[in-house]
């Protein structure tokens, strides 16, 4: 798993386990039950359901579906809470942002994250330029993954 995925997990933007693992699987005994149904005599066809317009159909579908999960995480609130009482400025510093999330903020870790996110080669040799690029890119990618990053931090 990449460092950026770790950032997303720490912010609550990515689940630790895929959702498929939480879905129960069908028991293996389904095949014999289907064989019984096939052997049973055919039932009389049911009368056709009365036709409904698209609004009625959409209302039924909407009522049957679970409510949509909120896709946006209040990243700013979470980071402000984490930074309370600490002298870390996550809004301008990638090092402080990583420290706040309890992620390795060493030069090597930042280089790895920069490579993972596609930092241009000409910035990789200049720590200050790379850090600025990395901070902006991480915030933009957090926003792209459902985090509410204010526009002024993305410019």
Q: What is the pLDDT of residues 79-90, one digit of tens each?
A: 999 999 999 999
The answer to the question of residue 136 being in a domain is yes
The string of pLDDT tens digits covering residues 45-71 is 666 656 666 666 655 655 554 444 445
Cα 49 versus chain centre, distance: 40
The answer to the question of residue 2 being in a domain is no
Residue 136 near residue 1, CB atoms below 8 Å:
no
**What is the domain count for the chain?**
1
Residue 82, sorted as left (phi over 0), alpha (psi -120 to 50) or beta, turns out to be: alpha
The string of pLDDT tens digits covering residues 106-137 is 999 999 999 999 999 999 999 999 999 999 99
* Strand spans (E) along the chain: none
Tell me, what DSSP letter sits at residue 143?
H
Nearest to 145 by CA among 119, 117, 124: 117
pLDDT of 99 reads 96
The answer to the question of residue 37 being in a domain is no
The answer to the question of residue 87 being in a domain is yes
The answer to the question of residue 97 being in a domain is yes
The parent domain of residue 112 ranges over: 72-146
The answer to the question of residue 78 being in a domain is yes
Q: Decide: residue 54, CB within 10 A, 0-12 exposed, 13-18 middle, 19+ buried.
A: exposed
The answer to the question of residue 32 being in a domain is no
The answer to the question of residue 76 being in a domain is yes
């Amino acid at each position: 798993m990449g460092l950026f995925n770790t950032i997303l997990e720490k912010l609550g933007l990515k689940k630790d386990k895929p959702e498929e693992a939480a879905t129960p699987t069908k028991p293996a005994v389904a095949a014999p039950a289907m064989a019984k149904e096939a052997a049973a005599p055919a039932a009389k066809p049911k009368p056709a359901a009365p036709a409904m317009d698209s609004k009625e159909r959409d209302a039924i579908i909407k009522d049957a579906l679970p409510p949509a999960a909120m896709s946006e995480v209040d990243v700013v609130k979470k980071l402000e809470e984490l930074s309370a009482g600490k002298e870390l400025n996550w809004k301008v510093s990638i090092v402080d942002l990583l420290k706040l999330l309890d992620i390795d903020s060493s030069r090597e870790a930042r280089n790895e994250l920069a490579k993972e996110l596609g930092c241009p080669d000409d910035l990789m040799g200049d720590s200050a330029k790379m850090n600025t690029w990395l901070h902006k890119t991480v915030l933009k990618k957090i926003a792209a993954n459902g985090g509410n990053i204010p526009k002024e931090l993305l410019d």
